[in-house]
Copies of this chain bind each other. A is one copy, B any other.
Amino acid sequence: MLNQLAALDQVYSALADPTRRAMIERLSQGSASVSELAQPMKMSLAAVVQHLHVLTSSGVVKTKKIGRVRHCELSPDVLKRASNWLISQQQAFWKAGMREIDQLLAEESSPHKSKKGTS
């Protein structure tokens, strides 16, 4: 449980940066080498590698070396865990709202129920 909490901390933290989200958007179109990933970014290769490190540490991106080239690939399962948590909060919110409306409607349809001494 603690590991899962820490994992979500790292994933959301990795997502909280526009460069890293741009890298995720690129990798959602297919795998890429580190230099392909760096090419459209307006920053040094070292800065890109640092952002990539945050993405791999959180599990959002995995890399493997083929020959002399490091390839990067998205881990959709990790993104799914992050979106699932967000969706479950929205579902809980709307369900709680529906329960409140049901309760109000029930009180409306039997106005004397809660009053003492009425029959």
Q: Which residues of A contact B (CB under 8 A)?
A: 5, 8-10, 12-13, 15-18, 21, 24-25, 27-30, 74, 76, 79-80, 82-83, 85-87, 89-90, 92-94, 96, 100
- Of A13, A92, A100, most buried by chain B (CB within 10 Å of CB) is A92
User: 10 shortest A-B CB distances, which residue pairs?
Assistant: A83-B86, A12-B16, A28-B92, A13-B16, A12-B15, A28-B89, A28-B93, A5-B18, A83-B83, A12-B12
Q: Copy number of this protein in the oligomer?
A: 2
Query: A13-B12, A16-B13, A17-B9 given as contacts; is B90 within 8 A of A83 (CB)?
Result: yes
Say which residue of B16, B18, B86, B90 sits within 8 Å of A16 (CB atoms).
B16
Say which residue of B8, B18, B87, B89 sits within 8 Å of A74 (CB atoms).
B89
* Nearest neighbor of A11 in chain B, beta-carbon distance: B16
